[in-house]
Amino acid sequence: MRVLEKYAVLSGGGTNHRIDLASGILIKNNHISLGGGVAAVLKRALRDRKPGQRVQVEVRTPEELDQALAHGAEAILLDNMTPKQVKASVERIKAATAGQPGRWVPTEASGGIVLDNIRAYAEAGVDFISVGALTHSARAADISMSIVAEPD
């Protein structure tokens, strides 16, 4: 069903920047906690990835953001931050990469984003806004098929 969900998002005007988990590497907070910290996990991911995979790091604090940028994160997921924190993080990323020609670190806001606050996140300057409700909370259609035998 995932392909249909992705198609529905695309048809509704959304963008699918990740088709599935194999499209890239997303380092989440549990990976960081169990893998020895941002630097260690990021180093392994960059070394062991498959060709074409982008390495994205989920960060929740300015300290994690600084570590991710310092150790080569190729994309940043700003998790469960307020729009104000997201804006400050986006500015921090732009400042950190300003002296590196050709380095673009895409930013994504995720966690707690709903219709009532999505504009504030968009105005914070992120490249992507993740709204999980588009796929995990969509109501299923009640589709049935009845077969009736034709008389002989």
**Domain contains 73:** yes
- Per-residue pLDDT of the chain in tens (152 residues, 90 and over written 9): 778 877 887 888 877 766 776 778 999 999 999 999 999 999 999 999 999 889 999 999 999 999 999 999 999 999 999 999 999 999 999 999 998 888 899 999 999 898 899 999 999 999 999 887 666 666 777 788 888 888 88
**Domain contains 78:** yes
**Domain contains 130:** yes
Residue 148 has a pLDDT of 84
* CATH code, domain carrying 71: 3.20.20.70
Contact 42, 53 (CB under 8 A): no
**Domain contains 7:** no
Of the CA atoms within 13 Å of residue 44, those in its CB half-sphere come to: 10
**Domain contains 140:** no
**Domain contains 3:** no
Of the CA atoms within 13 Å of residue 69, those in its CB half-sphere come to: 24
Q: Distance between CA atoms of 103 and 94, rounded to whole angstroms?
A: 10
**Domain contains 146:** no
Q: Position of tokens 């990021």?
A: 42
- Structural domain of 117: 20-135
pTM of the model: 0.81
Residue 138 has a pLDDT of 64
Residue 134 has a pLDDT of 66
**Domain contains 64:** yes
CB atoms within 10 A of CB 43: 15
Residue 137 has a pLDDT of 66
DSSP string covering 70-95, please? HTT-SEEEEES--HHHHHHHHHHHHH
SS (H, E, C) 28-77: CHHHHHHCCCHHHHHHHHHHHCCCCCEEEEEECCHHHHHHHHHCCCCEEE
Residue 129 has a pLDDT of 93
Q: How many domains does the chain have?
A: 1
